[in-house]
């Protein structure tokens, strides 16, 4: 089946630093999504990307849909302590198996004040 490779697995950074993480796939997707999960909670949608090449921002977060449709990245600028959590990428192809949202294994972010 389809698999997403998300990297890095974990990051330890200083408050104020920028963060970059990415996801690659062996096959193409119509949609790329980025989620954040806080401890004890479900994932929360941060950014959704629907077109190859699309660059979308949500506050300090910026994500891009790769032009090959097989990759995506997420950048966080000027990190703050509340950015701590696990970030997941997810790929989706609507029109086929509509419920088939495939997740990466996550990037665990730790921020040192």
Partner 1 sequence: NAGVTQTPKFQVLKTGQSMTLQCAQDMNHEYMSWYRQDPGMGLRLIHYSVGAGITDQGEVPNGYNVSRSTTEDFPLRLLSAAPSQTSVYFCASSLGTGGYTFGSGTRLTVV
- Name the residue nearer to partner 1 (CB basis): 43 or 85: 43
Region of 12-20, 38-46, 65-73, 77-85 interacting with partner 1 (CB under 8 A): 38-46
Q: Is 102 in the site for partner 1 (CB under 8 A)?
A: yes
**CA neighbor of 43 nearest in space, from 107, 100, 99, 96:** 107
Residues 6+ apart with CB under 8 A from 77: 18, 60, 61, 62
d(CA 33, CA 74): 10
d(CA 92, CA 100): 6
- Which of 11, 43, 79, 109 touches partner 1 by CB under 8 A? 43
Q: Is 66 in the site for partner 1 (CB under 8 A)?
A: no
Contact 107, 9 (CB under 8 A): yes
Closest approach of Cβ 35 to partner 1, in Å? 8
Q: Is 31 in the site for partner 1 (CB under 8 A)?
A: yes
- Which of 10, 17, 50, 55 touches partner 1 by CB under 8 A? 50
Binding residues for partner 1, total number by CB under 8 A: 27
d(CA 89, CA 66): 13
d(CA 38, CA 30): 27
Binding stretches for partner 1 (CB under 8 A): 1, 6, 30-31, 33, 35, 40-45, 48, 50, 88, 92, 94, 97-106
């Amino acid at each position: 089946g389809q698999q997403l490779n998300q990297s890095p697995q974990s990051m330890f950074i200083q408050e104020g630093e920028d963060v970059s993480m990415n996801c690659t796939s062996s096959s193409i997707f119509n949609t790329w999504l980025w989620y954040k999960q806080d401890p004890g909670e479900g994932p929360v949608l941060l950014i959704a990307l629907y077109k190859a090449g699309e660059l979308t921002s949500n506050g300090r977060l910026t994500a891009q849909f790769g032009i090959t449709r097989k990759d995506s990245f997420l950048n966080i600028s000027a990190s703050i302590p509340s950015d701590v959590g696990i970030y997941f990428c997810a790929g989706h192809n609507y029109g086929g198996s509509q419920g088939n949202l495939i997740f990466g294994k996550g990037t665990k972010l730790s921020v040192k004040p």
